[in-house]
Amino acid sequence: MNTSTQLRSAIRDIPDFPKPGILFRDITPVLASAPLFRAAIAEFANICREANAEKIAGIDARGFLFGATVAYELGLGFVPVRKKGKLPFHTIAQSYDLEYGSSEVEIHTDAFEKGEKIALIDDLLATGGTAGAAIKLIDQSGAHVVAAAFLIELADLGGRKALGDVPVTALVSYA
């Protein structure tokens, strides 16, 4: 089995979470398995290497699991993209639409250098709201997102459209 198939077999479907009608893809079995987690990190690392990423950004909170580990594997620095109010230094914020209402993500103003090549990592690409907002923040900092990589893509939600010209890779895609 290739890595994508192995990951797909491990990801657990949880119906009606967080609310009725939603089928949640539970990645905790991937984290619990050292070989599977290692295989996922190897795939992420390849994507970042091929894109010549110079720094890794990961989205709060599950993106931290993969993003920080990939940064470690590649010997690159890591930047957290956080929910509003969590980062203590000077920040810039970007809001994005949710099904009902909106939310905001933030980065530190000193997180990126001008022209720096950034790989953005998260566990899930759904509608692309959070990742799209993160890309806007990174662009606003003068850095450049050269790759966006996700463990899971829910392809029928069309999240890639929210990410503009950024090359997108998902290790596992659900129709």
Residues with a catalytic annotation lie at 62, 99
Give the DSSP letter of residue 7: H
* Minimum separation from the CB atom of position 152 to a second copy (A): 13
Distance CA 118, CA 95 (A): 20
* Residue 148 token pair: 């966006």
Contacts of 39-42 with C-beta under 8 Å, sequence gap 24+, read 39/3, 39/6, 39/7, 40/3, 40/7, 40/66, 40/151, 40/171, 41/66, 41/69, 41/70, 41/73, 42/3, 42/73
List contacts with a second copy (CB under 8 A): 12, 14, 17-18, 24, 26, 28, 31-34, 37-38, 41, 55, 60-62, 64-66, 68-69, 71-73, 75-80, 82, 85-89, 108, 111
Beta bridge partners of 147: 119
Q: Quick one: 12 or 161, whose CB is closer to a second copy?
A: 12
Matching residue, tokens 């969590």: 86
Q: Quick one: 91 or 160, whose CB is closer to a second copy?
A: 91
Q: Quick one: 63 or 160, whose CB is closer to a second copy?
A: 63
Q: Quick one: 82 or 160, whose CB is closer to a second copy?
A: 82
* Minimum separation from the CB atom of position 135 to a second copy (A): 19
The answer to whether 133 and 96 are in contact (CB under 8 A) is: yes
